[in-house]
Structure 1
Amino acid sequence: MQQRSDQASQPGTGGRANQRLRTRTAILRAASELMRDGRDVTMPEVARAALVSEATAYRYFPNLASLLREAMAGQWPTPAEALARVADVTDPVERVAAAAEHLARTVLVNQGAARAMIAATVTRPEDVPARPALRLGLIDHALAPVADTLDAAALEQLKRSLSVVISAEAVFTLTDLLRLDAQEAVAGVVRAATALTREALRPTS
């Protein structure tokens, strides 16, 4: 009994450690709920939803991007799961279309988090961890049928080009700057991605 009491009184153990874990979990849960609701995700809003002060939230997560990255972890389907409907399809154009549609719709459903992550990483990229590479995994999986047949340099260039159009930035360009509705924006991203893929795979004479 004495040993148990001594351990509980030591800093960083027992109740204090459990409280820190509960606080961290509450902050992550609040961020996840804001993302699921499609609301703007800011540190003040997260702190308010988690019933903690903003200063407390920053003690656990040094910036919004690090919080969002951890809150997003494990929430998205794997590329194979996301593209399950084209699992038996070998046509890379059709697979890329599915990847583009999935990414665009995911961005539109999670606009608050997507915009917050873009803002955080664009304004101070040196201070935040890398953004989740959802698009890269989707692109790699979509192009898997031609990974061993397409010239390595051409494949790499295609992936780079696709990463520009299969992106949150492309979606927001279409909705914010060009004033397209959600369905038109999704269709625009899919058209651009499939056009790039067809051109890259076009036989050379």
Structure 2
Amino acid sequence: MSDVARQAESTSTATRGGRTNQKERTRRAILDSARTLIDAGDEVTMPEVARTARVSEATAYRYFPDLPTLLREAMHESWPGAAQIMAPVAHLTDPIERVAHATDYLLRHVHTHAPAVRATMAAAIVRPAEILRPAYRLGLIEAALEPLTDLTPETLTQMRQDLVVVMSAEAFFTLTDLYGMSSEEAIASVVSTARSVMAARLS
């Protein structure tokens, strides 16, 4: 290969690398913009995300095909994970207390990020085959029930199913939207229900 050809190939490779880096920076800016809006508890729309990321709305859609896809990835980055959430009660073996802690944390997360959670839920209802909700509660339930090694598989399965219904954004929004409870009252009510469900199953 001649010197000229090698130089041309090197320039082409550098150009491709620069474009890749620019695309990653743009994608990162869009995600960071969405996270900032989500963490502030603001309503998240693609035009607002694009504006704060300093890109066009068309550019935002090139990186994320729809708002729920963007919300899902942005919220995932702000979710600490089940092990970290359960760390304060890791020393406890009482499953009722562990479930109460997990429920309280989950619903406070829902309350803090309510606009984004509502938008994701709404999209999933309209397009259930396309929109995947994060389902953070599933990991939390598994972590909370970890000490229960002496129960039958059938009992554990039923317990998980009970808790999936109780530990949910749906339960929280039902109490706040339809029953008129404050966020604190709703969280306390769902935590109490989770305790009752666990006590009933364990007995």
Separation of aligned partners in 2, 1:26 and 1:107: 24
Structure 1 stretches lacking a partner, 5+ long = none
Separation of aligned partners in 2, 1:200 and 1:135: 19
TM-score (norm 2): 0.91
Please list, as runs of the form range in 1=range in 2, the aligned pairs for 1:2-21 lying within 5 A after superposition: 2-8=8-14, 13-21=16-24
CA 1:45–1:95: 2 relative to 1, 3 Å:
same
Determine the structure 2 residue equivalent to 1:122: 125
SS of corresponding position for 2:129: helix
Deviations 1:52-90 (A, max 9, x none): 222221111111121112112332122121122211111
Structure 2 stretches lacking a partner, 5+ long = 1-6
What's the RMSD between the two structures over aligned residues? 1.4
Amino acid paired to 2:152? D
Which among 56, 64, 85 is matched to residue 61 of structure 1?
A: 64
Report the CA distance between 1:96 and its aligned residue.
0.6
Determine the structure 1 residue equivalent to 2:49: 46
Report the CA distance between 1:26 and its aligned residue.
1.0
Separation of aligned partners in 1, 2:190 and 2:44: 24
Determine the structure 2 residue equivalent to 1:100: 103
Separation of aligned partners in 2, 1:42 and 1:5: 39
1:173 to 2:174 alignment: yes
Aligned residues: 197
Report the CA distance between 1:8 and its aligned residue.
4.0
Deviations 1:16-70 (A, max 9, x none): 3222222111110111000110001122221222122222211111111211121
Determine the structure 1 residue equivalent to 2:137: 135
Q: Is the 1:79–1:141 contact (alpha carbons within 8 Å) kept by the matching residues of 2?
A: yes
Percent of residue pairs bearing the same amino acid type:
51
Rg comparison, structure with higher value: 2
Deviations 1:82-130 (A, max 9, x none): 12221111111111110110101111111121111111111112222x2
1:33 to 2:36 alignment: yes
Determine the structure 2 residue equivalent to 1:82: 85
1:199 to 2:200 alignment: yes
Determine the structure 1 residue equivalent to 2:4: none
